[in-house]
Amino acid sequence: MQDDYAISEISLEGYQVVRGQHFSRIIEPSCTLWYSSIAFNAAAYNALNDCDCVSVLVNGDTQCIIVKPVPSKDRDAVNWSRKRVKQKCEKIECSRFAHQVFDLWGWDRELHYRTIGRLVMVDMKLMLLFDFSKPELWRGQKMVSELE
């Protein structure tokens, strides 16, 4: 009688790695930029403890965006409160900002760009860093490619 749980050695020849972008990233914070707006998923709100307002910082050279919690009375506060998005991604209108970013980074206006964020500490404060140097490119609901 053969042991159904015996471990046998096999070769990985002929197998291909399935890229991570093909799997759900709902638990990872993400940021998406359109030519007229920006959006964050629920995981981004959770990562910053559901704060009501943030400040958005851009580094044109590294193509990174940092999102940091700020009080609502802060001069540059953006209301991104999760209460307004009902657990899903909702666009925040920001045409001037988006146009500048698209022009600066040479992006196609017909596409939108998404990247996964990670928590970082700056001066003992928790923030989200979104690196757009290698974003996913989307047209509607379909991913077009990933910048390499």
- The string of pLDDT tens digits covering residues 73-113 is 999 999 987 555 454 557 899 999 999 999 999 999 999 99
Q: Regarding beta strands 112-122 and 125-131, do their DSSP bridges make them parallel or antiparallel, or are they unpaired?
A: antiparallel
**What predicted TM-score, i.e. pTM, was given to this entire model?**
0.78
- Rounded to an integer, what distance in angstroms lies between the CA atom of residue 64 and that of residue 58? 6
In tens, the pLDDT along 30-44 reads: 999 999 999 998 889
3-class DSSP state for residue 141?
Answer: coil
State the CB neighbour count (10 A cutoff) for residue 18.
8
DSSP state of 103: H
Tokens coding 102? 């698209």
